[in-house]
Structure 1
Amino acid sequence: MEDPARAPPPPFAVHLVTGGSSSPDLSHLLHSLAAARIVAFDAEWKPRRRRAPANGDDASPAPPNPPQLPTVTVLQLSCRSEHGGSEVFVVDLLAVPLADLWPQLRDLFERPEVLKLGFRFKQDLVYLSATFTAALGCDYGFQKVEPFLDVTNVYYYLKGHDRQKRLPKETKSLATICEELLNVSLSKELQCSDWSCRPLSEGQIRYAASDAYYLLDIFDLFQQKVSTEEKCSSTTDLNSDEFCSPTVVECSSSGYSICSAGYLASIIVKYSEGILLTESDTKARSSRRKEKQKLPTDSKYKEKFDCSIEWQGPPPWDQSIGGDGLPKFLCDVMIEGLAKHLRCVGIDAATPSCRKPQPRELLNQIYKEGRILLTRDMKLLKYQYLATNQVYKVKSLLKRDQLAEVIDTFQLKISEDRLMSRCTKCNGSFIQKPLTLDEAMEASKGFQVIPSCIFNRDLEFWKCTDCNQLYWEGTQYHNAVQKFMSVCNISE
């Protein structure tokens, strides 16, 4: 099992804030907030889990306690000043006196010239407000954040969604958005860790900081597209018009030159919204789902299932039964991360086309494409009688362990030349010939950011033939290769 704390370090420094008003760490944070023009936020809290009855099934149920909102224990902020410098802070709210932080934080939330970024931040704000209220009193919560820009809206804007129409109900996760827009893989293995335990591990600190840091990178991509469209508003073809090319190159190479006060103000006016908490938002709600009484035979039924989930074989691609010899899997929505890991080692791994597919839709896809359905959903296993040797329950929890389990169970042959040979975003294949830097810049216009730090390096770029995502052999590529060589036991 890979220790997340020993994963390759992110491309940014993290300031951990743990002291009070006299602490240089807190002073540094407050100075950065005062000078910031854009601030990205995220928060972490201890996940709540249901407790089993203390004395077994026969114990009389205790009277339910009033529901309480979780206590936010970690606040992440990524600050960018008018001059373009960025700093990332992870604030330990169990160590920092909240009274020393509250005035500046409330002022920042409501300061009209500072744009705030977040990903579904309303829930974070509700919990954060309740945390400060519980510690300091009813007058010390937070009622609003404005101007505010949700990265979910930014994502759909970059994907060409009409702003006049309602957004799709099924929104993407932040990890998926970063993968699609930035070609950055965010590990979510620590998302549900206990954020109330101290000290925070190095892996937790890096995980928390990444969620705030990459919001600014996504905003950069948004700025570039907005700038390009405004410059090219009089043309009919934004991507091919020669007038657009210098704009895109300038944005990529100069970083944040377009983040001037006037330009940022126009973005705030045109695209930002606000978060306003009502009285009902600040009250904890009991779960609306009613617990279903389990029949006495449930445990026996589950035990019977558990005895029948071992893989029997052969797989549908086995050549002895007429298959093509090419392993193919379908990972359900519960283990999408495993699909990306399988793609990284060169295995064809598809995912459902919608977030909540019906079992029949999954079965139809594995029948049609000769795949094996990988799942952790016990409910799907009852359909195994319809799909003999085409449904397998993954036992492991972490993506690395899941990958090793699938490789071992299905005796997959992984070679070094197959590593990183498929598009992790869509499962597509790459073009046969690599692109030059100029060709890659042209292909990335209004679609993907190519960091300016690699312009002077002799790199090859590869484009997916299906989704047009660009890849290059940077630091993340080499770290990933080493990681998967270890998982697959490939010697150098």
Structure 2
Amino acid sequence: MAMARDAPSPPHPFEIHMVASAASPEFALLRRTLRRSRAVALDAEWKPRRSRPSSSSSADPSPSSSSSLFPPVTLLQIACRAVAGEGGGGGSSSPVFIVDLLAVAAEALWEPLRELFESPEVLKLGFRFKQDLVYLSSTFSSHGCDPGFDRVEPFLDVTTIYHHLNSQNMGRKLPKETKSLATVCAELLGISLSKELQCSDWSCRPLSEEQILYAAADAYYLLEIFSLFEQKVFTDGKYLASPRGNASTLAAKLDKTIEESKLSNIFENGIDTIDSFESDGNLSIHSMTLPTSYAFDGDCITHVIRKYGEMIVLKDSDKKPRPSRRRGKEQLHTNIKSKEQLLDNSDWQGPPPWDPFVGGDGCPKFLCDVMVEGLAKHLRCVGIDAAIPSSKKPEPRQLLNQAYKEKRVLLTRDVKLLKYQYLIGNQVYKIKSLLKNDQLVEVIETFQLKISEDQLMSRCTKCNGNFIQKPLTIEEAIEASKGFQVIPPCLFNRNLEFWKCTDCSQLYWEGTQYHNAVQKFISVCKLND
């Protein structure tokens, strides 16, 4: 009925500079910006490897063959942030540079990158960046820039930042478990960071607009997350500012920024930057995001570098591909390959468990495993009952049991699950498409689902629940939201209807995001045809 506030379309508040030549103005701007930056976020993209290099090529010691040891990096994203008062030379205080490594000469970029990676004054940010560094080093080495790169310091991983932000004691030992970047962005920034294009072919040119925005966002939001970390360091009293940036001055700046952000009409633009302020006036780290253009005193970054800075060092063993666990199973894989291909290419046989002819109620129901969890929200958006696994890391038997008990079709991209089909009577379907929109269309066409415009946005995208039959007034919605959800004040005088999920109590309303989502799914489902 309405668009969920916890699943907004990602805003794009960054300025993108495409660097496609070492002689371009963008490359010169990149070099100037790097010299003036104190915090730099890094990410890389490469073409996913579909098969292992042959033994003959790996035995060849020539530079051309060494590049086949790892997939070549084709795109490097660099998001920069200067110290307060120092611009990067562009129109944005946090520009994002997309460097096309298929077009920019490696020898022109190698020296600036090496200086950046080893500069003790610049904090480098990344998300599991060691693998990116291994592939970058291999790529530059294959182009004659030997020995590539072997270290990045000081470095701070976003996973480390995430655990510090969720810890009362920032010095305690961090847990080993890690979360995806999309999950971290959703929890800390309220940003829905789509990962649909992660496995797209990054060696194809020209890049699509969606690929460029995806790549830029991955780097930019690393800086946004670091800004939250700076706020926590400051507000927790972990950092005592120097006379150039004393505590009272910085606190005044912080209060002013909060007030300006609070008064701005950001909700009209669909960007939930501020959800709530604590009753005692203190800043809530998880509910407020300062714009990246607000930079703390440079001494604060220095303190973070000294206190929390890490180091990435590549050993010789890191520069050699590790033996695949699959190598010892190659013979077994060969024996079952034909069977898996048969299963993989087979069409849905049916009938589905909800079919009245087999005792079903006629209402389509699906279970999306972790590999297609994003598809579940798309199905809910078009009014289809789509559940996710009851546990975070379910075993195949648990998935099959849940599908069987709830009379659902299990949707997956894991071909191994298809061999269990005989246990639950054709209740497993392998999704062939990679992108969520395409996956949605595939499911609709395969199971011949009937989608109408009245069904759009009729289920809770958060928990898959149904809405109450009668809409709430603004007074009822405010009462229902107390201690649970914040309703933006700008909605009070807009005579809107509010809907409440009967399962999780999430509130929804027909705002801009709702109407945009309806138009999107009308187009995807071709309801106008």
Q: TM-score, normalised by structure 1?
A: 0.77
Q: Within 5 A, what are the aligned runs for 1:42-441?
A: 42-50=43-51, 65=59, 68-83=69-84, 85-139=93-147, 141-160=148-167, 164-169=172-177, 171-227=178-234, 229-230=236-237, 242-245=279-282, 252=289, 256-257=293-294, 259-290=296-327, 291-294=329-332, 298=336, 301-302=339-340, 305=343, 309-316=347-354, 318=355, 323=360, 326-352=363-389, 356-422=393-459, 424=461, 427=464
1:37/1:354 Cα in 2 relative to 1: closer, same or farther (>3 Å)? farther
**Following the alignment from structure 2 to structure 1, what is the Cα–Cα distance between the partners of residues 508 and 227?**
19
What one-letter code is carried by the residue in structure 2 that aligns with 1:261? G
Instruction: Find the counterpart in structure 2 of residue 16 from structure 1.
Output: 18
8 Å contact kept, 2:375–2:439 = yes
Name 1:3's counterpart in structure 2.
none
Code of the aligned partner of 2:211: Q
Distance 2:465 2:155 in 1: 35
What secondary structure, in the 3-state scheme, does the structure 1 residue paired with 2:520 have? Answer: helix
Structure 1 letter corresponding to 2:74? T
Deviation, 1:458, is 7.1
Per-residue CA distance 1:376-403 (angstroms, 9 max, x = gap): 3332222222212532233334322221
Question: What letter is aligned with 1:17?
Answer: V
State the secondary structure of the residue aligned to 2:321: coil
Q: 1:314 to 1:203 in 2, by over 3 A?
A: closer
Residue 272 of structure 2 corresponds to which residue in structure 1?
Answer: none
Kept in 1, the 8 Å contact 2:46–2:202? The answer is: yes
Q: Quick one: distance in 1 between partners of 2:510 and 2:128?
A: 32
Report deviation, 1:48: 2.2
Asked whether the 8 Å contact 2:53–2:69 carries over to 1, the reply is no
Aligned partner of residue 76 in structure 2, secondary structure: strand
SS in 1 for 2:317: coil
3-state DSSP of counterpart to 1:192: coil
Give 1:75 shift.
Answer: 0.7
Q: How many angstroms apart in 1 are the aligned matches of 2:502 and 2:168?
A: 22
Cα 1:250–1:46, aligned 2, differ >3 Å: closer, same or farther? closer
Q: What is the Cα deviation at residue 372 of structure 1? A: 1.8
Residue 43 and residue 468 in structure 1: after superposition, are their counterparts in 2 closer, same or farther (change >3 A)?
A: farther
Mark the CA change 1:485 to 1:443 in structure 2 (over 3 Å): closer, same or farther: same
What amino acid is the match of 2:21?
G
Q: State the shift of 1:43 in Å.
A: 0.7
How far, CA to CA, are the matches of 1:332 and 1:159 in structure 2? Answer: 27
Q: Is the 8 A contact 2:155 2:309 kept in 1?
A: yes
Q: Work out whether residues 311 and 389 of structure 1, in 8 Å CA contact, stay in contact via their aligned partners in 2.
A: yes
Q: Hey, what's the Cα distance between the residues in 2 that align with 1:172 and 1:476?
A: 27
Contact 1:116–1:146 at 8 Å: present in 2 too?
A: yes
For 2:82, give the aligned amino acid: S
Greater shift, 433-442 or 299-308, is seen at 433-442
Q: Distance in 1 between matches of 2:39 and 2:393?
A: 35
| C-alpha RMSD of the superposition | 4.4
Q: In 2 relative to 1, CA 218–246 (structure 1 residues): closer, same or farther, beyond 3 Å? A: closer
Name the CA shift for 1:134/1:63 in 2 (closer, same or farther; >3 Å): closer
Deviation, 1:276, is 1.9
Task: Choose 297-306 or 383-392, whichever is displaced more.
Answer: 297-306
Gaps spanning 5+ residues in structure 1: where?
A: 1-6, 54-60, 232-238
Question: 2:395, 2:459 → 1: CA distance?
Answer: 27
What is the percent sequence identity of the aligned residues?
Answer: 57
* Structure 1 residues 36 and 149, CA gap change in structure 2 (3 angstroms): same
Q: Which of the two has greater helix per residue?
A: 2
1:274-326 deviation line (CA, Å, top 9, x unaligned): 2122222223334343242258874664466468652312433x567665654
Conserved 8 A contact 1:73-1:94: yes
Pair 246,43 (structure 1): closer, same or farther in 2 beyond 3 Å = closer
Does the 8 Å CA contact 2:14/2:94 hold for their aligned counterparts?
A: no
TM-score after normalising by structure 2: 0.72
Query: What secondary structure does 2:149 align onto?
Result: coil
Partners of 1:136 and 1:297 in 2: CA distance: 42
Q: Which has the higher contact order (CA 8 A, sep 6+)?
A: 2
- CA offsets per residue over residues 21-68 of structure 1, 9 Å max, x none? x42111111111122222111011232222799xxxxxxx96864662
Aligned residues: 463
CA contact (8 A) 1:77 1:89 kept: yes
- Which residue type is aligned with residue 13 of structure 1? E
